[in-house]
Structure 1
Amino acid sequence: MDWLHFLYLTLHIDQDLGTLVLHYGTQVYLILSAVIFLEIGFLPLFFLPGDPLLFFAGAYCASGRLDLWVLLPALLLAAALGNLVNYGLGRLVGHRAFSGQFRWLDRSALLRTHAFYESKGGFTFLLAPFLAIIRTFAPFIGGVVEIRLRRFMVLTSLGSALWVITLLGAGYWFGNIPLVRDHMTGIILIGLGLGLGAVLLGAAWRAFQPPRP
């Protein structure tokens, strides 16, 4: 399988997970884990479809085509390693990340994530996995601002575990319902949009509150 074909299958995981399972058998656990690792660990790969991957993988676990108790720890390990690698890259680049000298960095996404971190602090790493793009940029920002590694790993591991278990569980319980399966992308986007909207509204409400005496 060449890289372009692999990328195509990955980006159309809702349609092609069955193809991967059929042709690669137990290697599919490594493939799915690699996608999660790459999405979280490397900024240019933020576009990889982590949310639908987890949802449909959960549905395949429910139907017996994947083993949940093999897949779950593999995905959790992949997410933890991705966070650690991206943190290391952030430490390496440091505050030069904001200078514009690294053309491979999406500076607007980086600044948005940094502003989110400035607003939410450590809570960023609990919420970030549920927010596409931010889940990739948050660990990098953690390295740039030099958050303590132990605290970073605790927060990101907990956030990633909540993300993986939530979407795998949603796919396990609801992924084989035709109405849900056929409109999964829209459902995930709506859910994430509502969650992000609630966070932003809460932040705006706090910002406009008069200071306490």
Structure 2
Amino acid sequence: MIAVNPASGASVLAAFGALGVLLVIFAESGLLVVGFFLPGDALLFPAGVLCAGSGQEPARLELWQVMVCAAVGAVAGGQVGFAVGRHGGRALLARASHRRLERLERGSAHAERLLARYGYGKAIVIGRFIPIVRTVLHPAAGALGVPVRTFTLWQAVGGLLWSQSLVLAGYTLGASVPSVDDYLLPLVAAIVVVSFLPLLLETRRTRRGRRPR
């Protein structure tokens, strides 16, 4: 029996390969409470690296399989999250007072600010690239009554841009840098830090706006 840590991209890829990409990306994109614990960026980039073989070692994953699984997981998960929001997502977020759900509540607030500030299309695409926000943005859009056609179009665009770009970035690096596996952990850490920067900047901007003048 294989022990799998769902919060570890390396563990998921070792156990399930491309299928693990589909399952994790689907859950992160559409399942409240559970999704924001899962590795999105930290899974797609290493998966792309593992698709790049070298002269000494063949590719451990098929690029086309990973790209298809990432795309299906992102788009299908987004639609499920939207459906959850239309059928009670607001009530679930309102009850997010438990300590384990505090991050979910904060992410929901950021998602709603994105929708209000940038409009539906741009906010849905931008939100895909921000951890935590991409998990709650789709239910928030459903709860706020974003039109179905508008949401479906832009969440598909955002999901494909996010998932395919990270897989291809990992593949390109793996194909061009020998023994890139030796540097994979710090690279993944850097990607996670960079992806959190918009959320941190938005939080800082919001706190500044709340200061008494």
Q: 1:56 to 1:119 in 2, by over 3 A?
A: same
Please report how far the alpha carbon of residue 189 of structure 1 lies from its aligned counterpart in structure 2 after TM superposition.
2.7
What is the deviation of 1:11?
2.0
- Aligned-residue offset at 1:71: 1.9
With normalisation by structure 2, the TM-score equals 0.78
Secondary structure, in 3 states, of the residue corresponding to 1:44? coil
Question: Residues 67 and 121 (structure 1 numbering): CA distance in 2 closer, same or farther, change over 3 Å?
Answer: same
Percent of residue pairs bearing the same amino acid type: 26
1:108 to partner: Cα distance: 2.8
CA distance in 2, matches of 1:102, 1:166: 35
1:53 aligns with 2:53: no
Q: How many residues align?
A: 192
Contact preservation (8 Å) 2:129, 2:195:
yes
Q: Distance in 2 between matches of 1:110 and 1:18?
A: 29
Post-superposition shift, 1:178? 4.9
1:187 aligns with 2:187: no
Distance 1:132 1:101, change over 3 A: closer
**1: CA distance between counterparts of 2:199 and 2:97?**
31
2:117 equivalent in structure 1: 119
Whether contact under 8 Å (2:125, 2:154) holds in the other structure is yes
Alignment partner, residue 66 of structure 1: 61
Aligned match of 1:154 = 153
Alignment of 1:191-210 (within 5 A): 191-194=194-197, 196=198, 200=202
The answer on 1:167 being equivalent to 2:166 is yes
Note if contact 1:52-1:184 (Cα within 8 Å) is conserved in structure 2: no
Q: Is the 8 A contact 1:55 1:168 kept in 2?
A: yes
What SS class does the counterpart of residue 77 from structure 2 fall into? Answer: helix
Structure 1 residue 33 displacement after superposition: 0.4
* 1:98–1:61 Cα change, 3 Å: closer
Contact 1:33–1:78, Cα closer than 8 Å, also in 2: yes
Displacement after TM superposition at 1:109 (Å): 2.4
Unaligned runs of 5+ in 2: 54-58
Choose from 21, 28, 36 the match for 2:25: 36
d(CA) in 2 for partners of 1:38, 1:193: 19
Cα offsets for 1:98-139 (capped at 9, x unmatched) = 543786853232222212221122211101111100010110
Distance 1:191-1:35 versus aligned 2 partners, 3 A rule:
same
> Match for 1:132: what amino acid?
P
CA 1:95–1:192: 2 relative to 1, 3 Å: closer
